[in-house]
Structure 1
Amino acid sequence: MQKTSYQKELLIKATQQRKGLNNNKKDIEKIQSWLNLFAIQNPNAGTATGIDGDFGPATEKAVLNFQKFNGLSQTGTVDQKVFDALTAPLKKAFEDPVPGNNLRELILSTAKNHLKNHPFELVINNQSNTGPWVRSYMDGHEGSDWFWCMGFVQAIIDQAAAVQGKNFKTLMPLTYSCDTVGVTGIQKKILTRYQAARTNPALIKPGDVFLIQKTTNDWFHTGIVTAVNGDLIETIEGNTNSDGSHNGNAVMNRIRNYKQSKIDFFSIESLVA
């Protein structure tokens, strides 16, 4: 795999605890981030707390609640074993084996595996597009300016291609820009424009990348096509929400009408071959 920043998100330097001599602000922020991510999926767990890098009484109580909720020893401290429990969704998303007889199937399985582990961004220090999931997709980058839909797409393709010993960068350059991938598709003659896709839906295949046009050579959102049904495509996409925003907060399975939107399609066929 080329995109391995997620590995840093799975580790802390030392046990973190209230008034701990080895406390590290970045590690505490990681812990607080995961406590909040856990609270999003388990709102009755009592693990939501501030993300400020200070292991105070509120963070200690949130840790105790996490440990109680998961049947762990209630110590109020976070060693690597407890942190492993906190970060289990990320590890599962990036490291669980996925089924597939070919690259397209592997891409779909990988995207679905990430989806079921609930990737979600956080707001830290008044900055959206932050947190461990965003950093994992964006090679350590985060913050309001770092839209992460393409980072998600490339992480999925990279992970799936690596199963077959392939390098996704032979298909497209490492980038966070929809425009860069769109232009690459034009140059390689593997970008199906929306007009052609509307006329011939057979040109759209599961595993391909959709790109929503702003103007002819300007795209602002992307994701993975998982199915084509009549006028509709099903997708898995990052940095979106229920309204289909290009700057939402989660990975979601969405349905889009490609005949009513200017959606171009980047083919992964050359990497499949």
Structure 2
Amino acid sequence: MQKTFYKKELVIKAPQQRRGTSNNKKDVEKIQSWLNLYSMQHPSSGTAAGIDGDFGPATEKAVLNFQKANNVTQNGIVDQKTFDLLVLPLKKAFEDPVQGSNLRELVVNTAKNHLKNHPFELVIHNQSNSGPWVRSYMDGNEGSDWFWCMGFVQAIIDQAASVQGKNFKTLMPLTYSCDTVGTTGLQKKILTRFQTARTNPSLLKPGDIFLLQKTTNDWFHTGIVTAINGDLIETIEGNTNSDGSHNGNAVMNRIRNYKQSKIDFFSIEALV
């Protein structure tokens, strides 16, 4: 795999605790981030607290509640073993074995595996597009200006291709830009424009990348095509929401009408 920053999100330098002499602000922020992410899936857990890098009484209580919910020793200390429980969704998304008889199936199943582990962004220091999931997709970058839909797409293609010993960068450059991938598709003649897609749906295949077009050579959102049904495509896409925003906060399974939208399609066939 080329995109391996996620591994840095799986470890802390030392046990973190209230008034701990080895406390590290970045590690405390990681812990606070995962406590908040846990609370989104378990709203009654009492693990939501501020993300400020300070291991104070609120963070300690959130840790105690997390430990209680997971039936482990309740001491308010986050050592690597406890942190492993917190970051398990990220580890499973990037490291669980994915099955598929070909690359297209691997891409779709990899995207589904990420989806079921609930990737979600956070707001940290008043900056959206932040948190461990975003950093993992964006190679350590985060913040309001870092839209992460293409980072998500490339992480999925990279992970799936690596199962077959392939390098996704032979298909496209490492980038966070929809425009770069769209332009690459035009140059390689593997981008199906929306006008053609509407009249020839057989060109669209699961595992391909959709690109929402703003103008002819300007694309602003992307995701993975998982199925084609009549006028509709099913997708898994990052940095979106229920309205299909290009700057939402989650990875979601969505349905889009490609015959009513300007959606171009980047084929992964050359990598297959």
Alignment correspondent of 1:47: 47
Distance 1:62 1:71 in 2: 14
Supply the AA of the counterpart residue of 2:116: K
Q: Determine if the alignment matches structure 1 residue 164 to structure 2 residue 164.
A: yes
Distance 1:263 1:95 in 2: 31
Alignment correspondent of 1:138: 138
Distance 2:210 2:133 in 1: 21
Distance 1:269 1:7 in 2: 29
Q: CA deviation at 1:17?
A: 0.2
Q: CA deviation at 1:52?
A: 0.3
Alignment correspondent of 2:124: 124
Matches within 5 A, 1:211-230: 211-230=211-230
Matches within 5 A, 1:71-86: 71-86=71-86
List 4+ stretches of structure 1 deviating above 2 A. Answer: none
Supply the AA of the counterpart residue of 1:228: I
Q: CA deviation at 1:11?
A: 0.3
Distance 1:102 1:75 in 2: 47
CA distances 1:224-250 after superposition (whole Å, capped 9, x unpaired): 000000000000000000000000000
CA distances 1:2-54 after superposition (whole Å, capped 9, x unpaired): 00000000000000000000000000000000000000010000000000000
Distance 2:148 2:252 in 1: 13
Distance 1:86 1:148 in 2: 22
Distance 2:99 2:3 in 1: 20
Distance 2:182 2:57 in 1: 49
Q: Determine if the alignment matches structure 1 residue 199 to structure 2 residue 199.
A: yes
Q: CA deviation at 1:184?
A: 0.1
Supply the AA of the counterpart residue of 2:42: N
SS in 1 for 2:174: coil
SS in 2 for 1:237: strand
Alignment correspondent of 1:61: 61
CA distances 1:65-90 after superposition (whole Å, capped 9, x unpaired): 00000111101000000000000000
Alignment correspondent of 2:237: 237
Alignment correspondent of 1:6: 6
Q: CA deviation at 1:251?
A: 0.1
Supply the AA of the counterpart residue of 1:76: G
Matches within 5 A, 1:175-190: 175-190=175-190
CA RMSD of aligned residues (A): 0.2
Q: CA deviation at 1:207?
A: 0.1
SS in 2 for 1:43: coil
Alignment correspondent of 1:265: 265
How many residues of Structure 1 are paired with residues of Structure 2 in the alignment? 272
Distance 1:203 1:212 in 2: 17
Q: CA deviation at 1:185?
A: 0.1
Supply the AA of the counterpart residue of 1:96: D
SS in 2 for 1:271: coil
CA distances 1:183-225 after superposition (whole Å, capped 9, x unpaired): 0000000000000000000000000000000000000000000
SS in 1 for 2:142: coil
SS in 2 for 1:47: coil
SS in 2 for 1:67: helix
Distance 1:256 1:70 in 2: 38
Distance 2:182 2:15 in 1: 45
Alignment correspondent of 1:247: 247
Identity within the alignment, %: 84
Supply the AA of the counterpart residue of 1:229: N
Q: CA deviation at 1:140?
A: 0.2
For structure 2, the 5+ residue unaligned runs are: none
Supply the AA of the counterpart residue of 2:95: E
Distance 2:269 2:147 in 1: 26
Alignment correspondent of 2:113: 113
Distance 1:223 1:26 in 2: 30
